[in-house]
Amino acid sequence: MLLDWGDFPFNKTPLICLHGGPGIGCAESTHFRDKKGDHEFWTPQLFMAELDDLKTHVGIGAFDLLGQSWGGMLAGQYAIEKQPKGLRELIIADSPENELPKELRETLERCERDDKTDTPEYEEAVMYFYRLHICRLEPWLKELEDSFAELEEDNTVYYTMNGPSEFYVIGNLKDWNIAEGLKKITEKTAPGGVLVVNGYYDEAQDETTETYWKHPSARTKWIRYPLSSHMPMLEETERFLADLGRFLKSE
């Protein structure tokens, strides 16, 4: 796969998007499989450095930043710690922190306790959760299926930083928290404001999502998508893009 870019229109601010995971991409990344389990290597600081390298390489000055799921966690931390020059608007989409049938929750807990997270029983329970709280489309889009297939084939980054599944977090993100740091996102940090989105059925429920719009002192807006879970950009695409466009064009 080749990535092409050209000159940015002088009157348009580029939007940089940080995907979820960690480690769910287009399968063209270098994953360094020998670094699986290396908590000192796979850190948010590594990904923030990569973002800075991207901006420098492409020649980006002013920019908007959108992060989805883990990407939103990273975008928030980046804004707090880097206070990046040129950041205009910040969009946090479906970023955490579930209501499952009792028997499924017991299955998950038993498999996790017995270290049997690679069994068909556990994988079936995980997929049930994903179809309730990650993406409720039936069937899933091929692009989404492909992303999960690639993640299963190489889970180096995901397993190291997260763990076996979305709700069994044993990686180096298990104690990740930027709640207090969000107060450092001011009007100077994101002069265009902060947009926070999640879905009604999202694994990132309101009580955790609200931190992203309550704590910053910058102007904030929160949108919840009534028919979506974790991926409103796929589940309610037209509305999501319209809302995003309006926010990016706002003063």
Cα separation, 100 vs 125, whole angstroms: 10
CB contact at 8 A, 94 and 202: yes
What are the Cα distances from residue 92, in Å, to 42, 79, 117, 224, 230? Answer: 22, 11, 30, 12, 12
Q: Using DSSP, how many helices (H) and how many strands (E) does the chain show? A: 10, 5
SS3 180: coil
Q: Is 69 a catalytic residue?
A: yes
Cα separation, 76 vs 78, whole angstroms: 5
Q: Which amino acid is at 91?
A: I
Catalytic residue among 64, 215, 230, 243: 230
Catalytic residue among 202, 215, 229, 243: 202
Catalytic residue among 31, 64, 69, 228: 69
Tokens 């998950």, residue located: 108
Q: Is 243 a catalytic residue?
A: no
Q: Which long-range contacts (CB under 8 A, 24 or more apart) does 55-59 make?
A: 55/16, 55/86, 58/5
Q: Is 230 a catalytic residue?
A: yes
Cα separation, 72 vs 113, whole angstroms: 30
Tokens 């009534």, residue located: 226
Task: Supply the residues annotated as catalytic.
Answer: 69, 202, 230
